[in-house]
Structure 1
Amino acid sequence: MTTATTTPTATVPPAPSAKPRKARNRRWLRLVLPPAAVLLLMLVGTLVYQWGEPNADDEAFLSPSSRDGIGAADLAGRVRQAGVDIVTEHKSSDALVAAYGGNATLLITTPQLMHKYYLRMLKVLPATTRVVIVEPGSATIAEGLLPMQGTARNYIAKTAAPGCDYAPAAQAGTAAVVRTRYGPLDPDLGREVARCYDDSLVVYQRAGVNVTVVGSTDPFRNDRIGEHGNAKLATGLLTGAPRLIWLDLHRREPPPGITDDPGLAGAPGAPPSLRPVDPSNPGDPRDTDFPQAGRGATPNAPQPGNGKNDEPRPPDDPPNPLWSAFPPWTYVATALAVLGVVALAVAMARRLGAPVVEPLPVVVRSSETAIGRGRLYQRAKARGESLQVLRDAAVVRLTRLLRLDPDVERPVLIEAVAASSGWPPPAVEHTLFGRPPDTDDELVAAAVSLEQLVNAVTTEQPGAQPAPAAPFEGEPR
């Protein structure tokens, strides 16, 4: 007899399962990525916009000898064809001295690079000299004492009809001038002669000198002069005199020097405001636009020297704070960026949905909730509100017990409750819709009466006689 043997098999324990990796919480990306994307887009757009903007420090910018897109050689050629002689100057002082001879047009293409004193000297030019200033900004207007009150600047130049009878504008017609718009003129600094192209071309007169302010560089540039009526407008503005003094300035200038050489006191080429002052003459006029040492000067005012431009800065030349180092539109763009980020955060945030039932972390007994709420009503002395809460709950319960509509009318409810409880209708009305109590005792009595009424309907004892609380003081019995 053969006996079968069974070889015991070893039981291999199961391999421990790998612990699942906890998913990373990436909810923070919802708050970080959208604002970062918006800021990056705005930054790239700003950089591209600034990169496309011409730089006044560029030697080719509105230069009469440059044929680059931002140059003005095309305009210079048109002016020469009109029989006007162009005199190119690279210093404001030389340009002013040349314009002081009269019978000329002075073109200032980069007023932001001129020292403010040179801009203030425009008023001392003769009446036969006309001045054309290309797109001065708000800071240049304030420092140079130009009469415009406020400016508004667009991102790009827009076209518009002249809207005035000023000859160069009326002959040119529609032109791309509307970029920087200028506000009304200060009557103490100038008299308005013409205002064209939606306030982007303003002609004013100060001390007999006609000054034309153009709110865009497009009519003067090689790459824009052929559009619309730009060529006619720019040529008309610069061909009103036999000479055109073109200030081709591409660097910031120091303040003008002051000389004490008596031999220059009667020189006709020097602006009167910078001529030497005779201290022995008490009636010698002094222009407050040009502070000098002497009467009314501060200790830090520049003292008379050798005529070089190395004197210290005038006392009224304030330091350049950080906020003024940026153009005004940067602050508007920053404010819009902040508003955009806030709006995007609100739009991308999780919205509140329907209420979700969740277990309370601590079990709170219903009696404690009722006691706590009652004490709040008691502390606020809200007797009427407390009784109204009880009455509303009783009305809802009675409506359900009697199978009435939720919006049942009061007379129907009173009749139904009276028929079911056996109470007279006046007692039912007083219990459910009486006036609010004035004292705590009246509140307790009304609550007891209300509970008795509900119990009478619940137990369905129509034969039971009601025992309502006595009416409040002042009610009819």
Structure 2
Amino acid sequence: MTVTAPSAETGTVSTPTVTAMLRRARFWAALALVLALGVAATLLVGSGSGEGRALGPANAAPGGAKALVEVLGRQGVDVTVTTTLGDTLDRLEAGDGTLLVDDASGFLVGDQWRRLATATSNLVLLSPGSAALDSVAPGVSTAAPVEDGTAAPACTSPALGQASRVDVAGVAYAVDAPGAVRCLPSDDGYGLVELDDGGTKVSVLGATGALTNGAIATDDDAAFALALLGGSSELTWYLPSAGDLPEGQGTLATLTPPWVTPSLAVLLLAGVAAMVWRGRRLGALVVERLPVTVKASETTEGRARLYERSGQRRHALDQLRIGTFGRLARTTGLSSTASVDEVVARVAALTSADPRGLRYVLVDADPADDRELVSLSDSLLDLEREVRRAVAPS
């Protein structure tokens, strides 16, 4: 069996060029760019100033409230954004003004809500949860979400004196509190509820859609927002954070920064895209018919030449011994799992040969050169012939 070198037409091997390497790496470059953009975007979403969050005072997206802050500023209202309870209370001590609280993550507890209510005379709550309602707006409870729509004020609140149609998208509240002012009615409840105990006026605003950038310029939403939040020259916009949680409280969801979930989503999508790309790159399996059939004798001869080239005479002789052991075991009636000692003992009994000489030929002999290898191979053949004669019927 002759081994020939590949011709120049079929065996050409070339070094990849820089262009080819860049072409193969373009997928990973695009993936890295997408991940970088995703991380940058999610970091913006997690900004503590409200940039990127729904109704965030620094969010310029349709769901943000940056336009409202600018409108208030043009009307002479100084808007200050705080992110901790301590900073908020310090700000309120410096001057009496309106306090707007957007606790979308539910960080504050009852005592903290009550401290806020006593620190200001005008408290506005954006879509508050049960903790806030139980603490500072008893008798008001969440009824149902409101997808869209507008409503007439239908109440005598000063905040709606100049408004005729207001966006009520957000949350509707049910009211069971004597003296409460119910405004912006919908099928499920009210979009604005006002309670005044003589010391602090609490406005529960569920119709938060009117404050967003996408709606502030439509209907009478701007007039409504100015009347609700522009009654004082100072507005404190409080966005509670995880640092406000009392010691020992908080869940994994509340303690996790807002940018973690979208970051994990981006990484998951990138991983799925990579698996799909890598899984499809080789295409479907194709069955190819071999051009030739290699005979067993050629394979044996090729392996023999490899043994010869590497000088592995002992290994070549062991391959012959393995075949001889199998044939001797079958010829003498032993099982295929018979040990070396069992085969040697059976063959010695049949041929009256010295067991030590048989073991030397079958196991221990180590040929020093090719001539001794051929001699030992012949000895194995002679031993097989002698065993066959011994077991043959006379």
With structure 2 as the length reference, what TM-score do the two structures score? 0.46
Higher relative contact order (CA 8 A, sep 6+): 2
With structure 1 as the length reference, what TM-score do the two structures score? 0.38
